[in-house]
Structure 1
């Protein structure tokens, strides 16, 4: 019975309820002993007890979605060990007494307490008990070297508590985390000893004709495998317990100071148990988000150790490995190690599994940061798969991860050739149409990167000039305009009539407005300048540009954006292209101060800017005598100032050296 007022609430704790309890007899006992429940409510009590009993059965721990299994020891269900005894919360004191006896009794007591702890309903009462956790801690601290089963059972008790964060302070009180670290380190060292002894015995029993030696070897092998199996269970419980405790960043820092990464790396290298490997990689994934832990993993040479699990058949292990790799790929050296160890072709087949597709694409995207690695994509079957995924994507913009990877891949000519060859050369039209249909700026960026390669590739994009230029007339959003202008700027081909494009799609007014300082974002302004440089290769367009006043606008923009090296370089390049045509050359020399700005830029710290300005000024010198004299004078002053400074420095050094070579002078020799 429950009412809204807690004063009228009577709680009845049923400690003896388990799978074998007689529900009818227990309900009868409760009604008889509790005077508040009338005999007429017997059926309702039975129903409530049945609900509690079935809830306990379905409340067992299930497999984690990340593949982390409940680390239950195999010997937990050993009926011979418990002699048929069923644990009861009312007998905790009896179990504690067994913890003070011999090792078999301690194992029995720890098993019984573990069974109680696995039921979440008993945790609160066990925490409130005065001595049970203290007694378990004492036994674990004193006797963990004597029995693997005993250590595993006790650590599993604390693992059950660690699944609930409210019990973490209790675990910290008894310093179980530090003890688990010590046990794990000792067990890994002991495994090395077992392994050495076993291999020595293998060498001794190498003669198959010696039957006694063969039998001795088989016996030792069976013993060795049994010890390793029990040790794997202990390590699973220890690492899982530490993983739960690491939810607190302060506790994780303490683990880092105790070299938890080194312990996990040793375990990863020496253990083959699937569940244990899953747990280790999951723990490493959690730790890898911090720089110090990532650096320690790099020192431990983690990349080759992960190679066997990159494309394994176990889905949970494969997914966890990909996520760990993703965290590690933020480091340039680790990315290069992954490439050197053949991770690029190993990750590609994972695309076929939708469960791993996104994470594997993210890993490849990080690997594509490095320029050399991008070229290696052409030697795998990755590119056709990626393009197929784009074509088969649902309506709307494609996934950001997929688009980002394709954008990087398209920067290499060989990769672009493979893309153009997909679907017998018909794929390019599908990509461009999809980009404009759904107004996908990332897909357009990929197309734009493809247009920057050689003339044979650029010719395949000529048929889309109308789409790129039409985006300006239709007033697309700025991010789309940037990519369209970039694609037009890349198509610097002599046989394209840009005069028709300028007039048909009204590009000139758009360019004039865009170049006005403060009128548009810098990215859009930069692409507009690049496009003007491309258009300037056409002599007919040069005349139009000269009459439009756009040269003066470029000078104003140069004056405002003189700290932006990329923009200054592109403007200087526009002047270089214009200076070849008589119409624009006349305007630049006689009607603007562009040569003066170019003279100033001769001394810029950017080598490319200096080179473009020198080439432009050389052409001006050939066509204008006045500017030619001034340019020669400025160049002479620049070179002469450097020479004078060098000569003066050398003379000063010579004078300093001569001071020590003078003959002895008397005071009366000095004037």
Structure 2
């Protein structure tokens, strides 16, 4: 039991479990205000709310409050410094959850914290990145893919290779499957841009899956939505190595990129992504 709850319960003569729920509800409502969030973070609300994640009765309320407190980048290091570090609980909660679209507070908190380099490294450790990636691909869950993508962007190369090596085939199949939802495909492409690391042998996967032809089709002007086309540019660049370049060129990737650049020459974001390749 947290000290502030014990003290409040003693003063008010009320059940501390009920008091915790009421306090969380009030704090959550107050945390819609930025100044209120700053005051709560300074007063130590983050470690106390983290401790309440252990209680199923208070978990949803604690997650909602923690999500709001994670909105400011300046607050995120406080999660790492807390005695009950968020990173110790989040991976297990994410893996235990079903579709993360039914757990919006948990998903939103994980997305925010996974954008911090140190928190992401902790969240990805101990095999958690590989487990989360497997869950995301199996469930075709766009929120789980977004979290995994954030972790991959900030994860050490060696850890990422260990996580992605067994999932590379499934990732390619997900992208080329015509039934894959657009929001899932966007996140999977972003993930691929960070999973296509040199130690992974992509050539046999590309040859088997037909992914080069799919990328070319996505890059044809009008062939895919803008967000998918932009992510496809990045994924194509990440996949292009000395080993895979002949396959990608044979599929027409270079020609498609030139045509897309000509068609989108006024689009700064598209041009910059081409340049980044």
2:7 aligns to what?
none
**Which residue of 193, 197, 205 corresponds with 1:489?**
193
Question: Is 1:457–2:159 an aligned residue pair?
Answer: yes
Question: Is 1:515–2:216 an aligned residue pair?
Answer: no
Superposed, which structure 2 residues align to 1:599-618 within 5 Å? none
* d(CA) in 2 for partners of 1:355, 1:427: 25
2:4 aligns to what?
none
2:259 aligns to what?
556
SS in 1 for 2:172: helix
Q: Return the structure number with greater relative CO, CA threshold 8 A, min gap 6.
A: 2
SS in 2 for 1:460: helix
- Displacement after TM superposition at 1:348 (Å): 0.9
Question: Is 1:352–2:46 an aligned residue pair?
Answer: no
Contact 1:530-1:570 at 8 Å conserved across structures: yes
> Does the C-alpha gap of structure 1 residues 564 and 402 become closer, same or farther in structure 2, counting only changes over 3 Å?
farther
SS in 2 for 1:452: helix
Question: Is 1:480–2:184 an aligned residue pair?
Answer: yes
- Displacement after TM superposition at 1:566 (Å): 3.0
Superposed, which structure 2 residues align to 1:210-359 within 5 Å? 274=12, 314-359=16-61
Larger Rg: 1
**Which residue of 137, 153, 174 corresponds with 1:436?**
137
Superposed, which structure 2 residues align to 1:128-277 within 5 Å? 274=12
Aligned length: 262
- Displacement after TM superposition at 1:490 (Å): 0.8
**Which residue of 396, 399, 411 corresponds with 2:103?**
399
Superposed, which structure 2 residues align to 1:366-377 within 5 Å? 366-377=68-79
* d(CA) in 1 for partners of 2:264, 2:34: 33
Question: Is 1:447–2:148 an aligned residue pair?
Answer: yes
SS in 1 for 2:244: helix
* d(CA) in 1 for partners of 2:95, 2:168: 22
SS in 1 for 2:137: helix
1:589 aligns to what?
none
* d(CA) in 2 for partners of 1:564, 1:357: 44
> Does the C-alpha gap of structure 1 residues 378 and 541 become closer, same or farther in structure 2, counting only changes over 3 Å?
same
* d(CA) in 2 for partners of 1:347, 1:549: 53
Contact 2:213-2:251 at 8 Å conserved across structures: no
> Does the C-alpha gap of structure 1 residues 372 and 464 become closer, same or farther in structure 2, counting only changes over 3 Å?
farther
> Does the C-alpha gap of structure 1 residues 541 and 319 become closer, same or farther in structure 2, counting only changes over 3 Å?
same
Contact 1:473-1:505 at 8 Å conserved across structures: yes
- Displacement after TM superposition at 1:531 (Å): 0.5
Contact 2:193-2:234 at 8 Å conserved across structures: yes
* d(CA) in 2 for partners of 1:465, 1:479: 19
**Which residue of 498, 509, 527 corresponds with 2:231?**
527
- Displacement after TM superposition at 1:316 (Å): 4.1
Unaligned runs of 5+ in 1: 1-271, 276-311, 575-671
Unaligned runs of 5+ in 2: 1-9
Contact 2:52-2:58 at 8 Å conserved across structures: yes
SS in 2 for 1:495: coil
> Does the C-alpha gap of structure 1 residues 562 and 340 become closer, same or farther in structure 2, counting only changes over 3 Å?
farther
Contact 1:469-1:485 at 8 Å conserved across structures: no
SS in 2 for 1:539: coil
Give a deviation string over 1:241-274, Cα, whole Å, max 9, x none: xxxxxxxxxxxxxxxxxxxxxxxxxxxxxxx974
Contact 1:350-1:356 at 8 Å conserved across structures: yes
* d(CA) in 2 for partners of 1:318, 1:544: 60
- Displacement after TM superposition at 1:402 (Å): 0.9
* d(CA) in 1 for partners of 2:135, 2:34: 34
- Displacement after TM superposition at 1:430 (Å): 3.3
2:123 aligns to what?
419
Contact 1:472-1:505 at 8 Å conserved across structures: no
Contact 2:137-2:171 at 8 Å conserved across structures: no
SS in 2 for 1:519: coil
> Does the C-alpha gap of structure 1 residues 430 and 455 become closer, same or farther in structure 2, counting only changes over 3 Å?
closer
**Which residue of 506, 523, 528 corresponds with 2:210?**
506
Contact 2:115-2:150 at 8 Å conserved across structures: yes
* d(CA) in 2 for partners of 1:497, 1:435: 22
> Does the C-alpha gap of structure 1 residues 352 and 514 become closer, same or farther in structure 2, counting only changes over 3 Å?
same
- Displacement after TM superposition at 1:573 (Å): 1.4
4+ residue runs over 6 A deviation: none
Superposed, which structure 2 residues align to 1:62-73 within 5 Å? none
Normalising by structure 1, report the TM-score: 0.36
